[in-house]
Chains A and B, each alone.
Chain A
Amino acid sequence: MQQLVFAIGTMIAGVLACAFYFFATNWLLDRVFPSKGLSGAKASRNLRTTNAIRPWLFMLPALVALAVYLVYPVFESVRLSLHDRTGQTFVGPGNFVWMLGDGEFRQSIFNNFLWLLVVPALSTFFGLVIAALTDRIWWGNIAKTLIFMPMAISFVGAAVIWKFVYDYRAEGSEQIGILNAIVTWFGGSPEAWITLPFWNNFFLMVILIWIQTGFAMVILSAALRGIPEETLEAAVIDGANGLQIFFKIMIPQIWGTIAVVWTTITILVLKVFDIVLAMTNGQWQTQVLANLMFDWMFRGGGDFGRGAAIAVVIMVLVIPIMIWNIRNATRETGGH
């Protein structure tokens, strides 16, 4: 309790300090370069100066935070990836050479590609199907809320939920995990799903799909509603049936949004960490890059060189999407 009071106290102090900074610097700027009550040339010169400085005063705290927490670390990580475990001795591409020969790393790359193939595709697919179906029924909004709900649940919480679904009891005793209960009900024998090499990856992916489908659904649903009524009416008049309208009219219209959803989930998949840590911690051949990186960060007192090298690999995989995003954003903001 006491620490909560301390936290809220710090928070108020922090917000007040920010407010004070903005107010004080702004006041100071107007004092040093006054434009009111001055004549002609001097006033306009001061006005120009303040207009040039003020944006930077507004942006300074944010830019400092971004520089310290995101920009500097990118360069520092690249530097560390070329050094040994302590970050002191330069080893050139040594860490990357080690990676190529490391079985666990190759396993992680393979698994990450599996995740990249399956999760964005299925999340987007389910999201699109649910968005299209729920638009046609009266309780669609309730259904959407329920499917959207897992979005609020932490990856760790979701891992516990699904570990319970996959729970395994020896054959013959009563199954309390619903998946094995269904399997035995149909006459199969129970399996310890998350220890089945290769297939267990898919059981972990189900969790992320379960969480991300709601996200895809919300965005695609809005996009579907944005399709002009006239287009659809014209298609109906021309005699198109429901499926034709969906595949030939709706999908092409929202193609851009599908791409946005797909890439957003792709980025998330590259960083997937909590689910693997909580479910298997990389055992039974489920290792992924982010968990491997975390592992090396602390393994044997911490190998910063190898950890940073794995982080750089994740970054390199993200870069194409980053460039695509930047190009899209620049085109949209255009002259504004």
Chain B
Amino acid sequence: MPGATRSPLTFVVHLSVLLLVALWTLPTAGLLISSLRDKDQLAVSGWWTALLTSTQNVVFRAPSPETQTERDGRFVLSGNLLEGQKGEVSAFGFNSRDPAAFQPGQTAELNDGEKLTVQADGSFEIVSDTRMEGSRGQRIFFTAAVPPRFTLDNYREVLSAEGIGQSFINSLTVAIPATIIPILVAAFCAYALAWMKFPGRAILIAVVVGLLVVPLQMSLIPLLKLYNGVGAFFGVPAKTYVGIWLAHMGFGLPLAIYLLRNYMAGLPKEIMESARVDGASDFDIFVKIILPLSFPALASFAIFQFLWTWNDLLVAIVFLGTGNDELVLTGRLVNLLGSRGGNWEILTASAFITIIVPLIVFFALQRYLVRGLLAGSVKGG
């Protein structure tokens, strides 16, 4: 209540809201931070430690003996455990049972007379008096403190190699027409239901309200059969972009008509009456007066429809093919969850790409979204 501030209660309110906000934002923040981390660090430490130096236990395989060089009558293999990245080696070993047996700078006697030396900066040398045999390199275990590393590599990888880039375009291909096409169709219908008098109008409004909640599941099988039938009859593929645009239009229409009708019915009656007195027809009134005035409601619906079509998975996997040039982002993400379940660098970056567009739309047009929600749910709109 206004005036009830400055009590200890206010402090509790601030604290609990802060806690709730943290609960609601941290999961997404974790995803974003993780997607920007180096994949080796991401795999071994939590995202909340992203800014700390992390300690990694790594297995490194030295180059195979075939690459050894001869120096002063001895045979040498050298390289760097950290492979050029920054970091500090704190211990190393050559046996998985004791991976931290030696300190940097010490020399370890390998089983076959070879000597391994590792420096703190990661450079190592294997020295032998005789020519080294075999084709597999020596395994070196080491513990290193690695400073935090952020990179866009994960994004680079998923955009090209994992097909997320192509799916991004596919999602746009689905969402843009599926958002725009229904608007005009719905607007004309909404005007008729709001301002034209004809028998059966009340029943039609009731039907639209009823259709608002019909589960999509009811439509899937009959429409799949219908699409297959139409495809077979005309000899065209059953799963096409045109098919999914029309499906999204059909499923979006009840909400569109309902939202727009509520909004138009709330416009002042006098405008229409005076226009009619001036001899304007229904068509003129709608196109020249109602449509421009309804812009906020049209925008609300467009945002809803865009978010819904972009985020949709069910309609896309039923009515659109799964080829590379048809699989949408949500479908690709589900596939990745199956095939790359443990590769969080792939999953986090892919997920972030799929949610970035709706988030931008959300933050830019939140006002219209809220207005649409209110019009759709609360009496009086």
B177 within 8 A of A: yes
Contact among B215, B337, B362 with A278 in the assembled complex (CB-CB below 8 Å): B337
A93 within 8 A of B: no
Closest residue of B by beta carbon distance from A332:
B379
Q: How far is the CB of B11 from chain A (nearest CB, A)?
A: 11
A121 within 8 A of B: no
Write out the residue numbers on chain B whose beta carbons fall within 8 Å of the beta carbon of A160: 31, 333, 337, 347-348, 350-351
The answer to whether residues A333 and B221 also contact, given A15-B181, A156-B354, A325-B210 and a CB cut-off of 8 A, is no
Q: How far is the CB of B223 from chain A (nearest CB, A)?
A: 6
The answer to whether residues A154 and B254 also contact, given A7-B177, A162-B27, A215-B373 and a CB cut-off of 8 A, is no
The answer to whether residues A176 and B46 also contact, given A66-B253, A147-B20, A154-B330 and a CB cut-off of 8 A, is yes
The answer to whether residues A150 and B48 also contact, given A71-B211, A161-B31, A222-B374 and a CB cut-off of 8 A, is no
| Most chain A CB atoms below 10 A, which of B25, B27, B325, B379 | B27
Q: Are A167 and B217 in contact (CB under 8 A)?
A: no
A122 within 8 A of B: no
B-contact bits for A1-26, CB 8 A (1 contact / 0 none)? 10110111011001100110011001
Q: Are A149 and B172 in contact (CB under 8 A)?
A: no
Question: A146 CA to B114 CA in the complex, in Å?
Answer: 60
Closest residue of B by beta carbon distance from A151:
B362
Question: A222 CA to B220 CA in the complex, in Å?
Answer: 36
Write out the residue numbers on chain B whose beta carbons fall within 8 Å of the beta carbon of A336: 265
Q: Are B48 and A152 in contact (CB under 8 A)?
A: no
A322 within 8 A of B: yes
A-contact bits for B359-381, CB 8 A (1 contact / 0 none)? 10111001001100110011110
The answer to whether residues A174 and B44 also contact, given A153-B311, A154-B330, A297-B224 and a CB cut-off of 8 A, is yes
User: Which parts of B124-164 form the interface with A (CB within 8 Å)?
Assistant: none
A42 within 8 A of B: no
Write out the residue numbers on chain A whose beta carbons fall within 8 Å of the beta carbon of B369: 151
B-contact bits for A291-306, CB 8 A (1 contact / 0 none)? 0011001000000100
A-contact bits for B26-54, CB 8 A (1 contact / 0 none)? 11101100100000001111111000000
Q: Are B198 and A11 in contact (CB under 8 A)?
A: no
The answer to whether residues A146 and B25 also contact, given A69-B250, A315-B218, A325-B213 and a CB cut-off of 8 A, is yes
A74 within 8 A of B: yes
Write out the residue numbers on chain B whose beta carbons fall within 8 Å of the beta carbon of A14: 177, 180-181, 245
Question: A312 CA to B34 CA in the complex, in Å?
Answer: 42
B249 within 8 A of A: yes
Write out the residue numbers on chain A whose beta carbons fall within 8 Å of the beta carbon of B198: 51-52, 55-56
A-contact bits for B175-197, CB 8 A (1 contact / 0 none)? 01100111011101101110011
B85 within 8 A of A: no
Question: A312 CA to B222 CA in the complex, in Å?
Answer: 12
Interface residue tally of chain B, by bracket? Answer: 35 or more
Question: A71 CA to B226 CA in the complex, in Å?
Answer: 14
Question: A307 CA to B225 CA in the complex, in Å?
Answer: 13
B-contact bits for A187-212, CB 8 A (1 contact / 0 none)? 00000000000000000000000100
The answer to whether residues A148 and B225 also contact, given A164-B344, A261-B377 and a CB cut-off of 8 A, is no
B232 within 8 A of A: no
Interface residue tally of chain A, by bracket? Answer: 35 or more
Question: A87 CA to B222 CA in the complex, in Å?
Answer: 10
Q: Are B225 and A304 in contact (CB under 8 A)?
A: yes
B206 within 8 A of A: yes
A143 within 8 A of B: yes
Closest residue of B by beta carbon distance from A324:
B213
Q: Are B34 and A164 in contact (CB under 8 A)?
A: yes
Q: Are A18 and B210 in contact (CB under 8 A)?
A: no
A-B CB contact pairs (8 Å), 21 listed: A7-B177, A8-B176, A14-B177, A15-B184, A58-B286, A59-B204, A63-B189, A69-B250, A70-B218, A73-B220, A87-B225, A136-B10, A145-B363, A159-B337, A160-B348, A178-B48, A181-B46, A260-B377, A314-B218, A315-B218, A336-B265
List residues of chain A with CB under 8 Å of any chain B CB.
1, 3-4, 6-8, 10-11, 14-15, 18-19, 22-23, 26, 30, 51-52, 54-56, 58-59, 61-63, 65-66, 68-74, 76-77, 80, 87, 126, 129-130, 133-134, 136-137, 140, 143, 145-157, 159-165, 167, 174-178, 181, 210, 213-215, 218-219, 222-223, 232, 236, 242, 245, 256-257, 260-261, 264, 267, 270-271, 273-274, 277-278, 290, 293-294, 297, 304, 307-308, 310-312, 314-315, 318, 321-322, 325-326, 328-330, 332-333, 336
Top 10 closest A-B pairs, CB basis? A69-B250, A154-B311, A62-B189, A152-B362, A76-B222, A11-B177, A160-B351, A73-B222, A73-B219, A58-B192
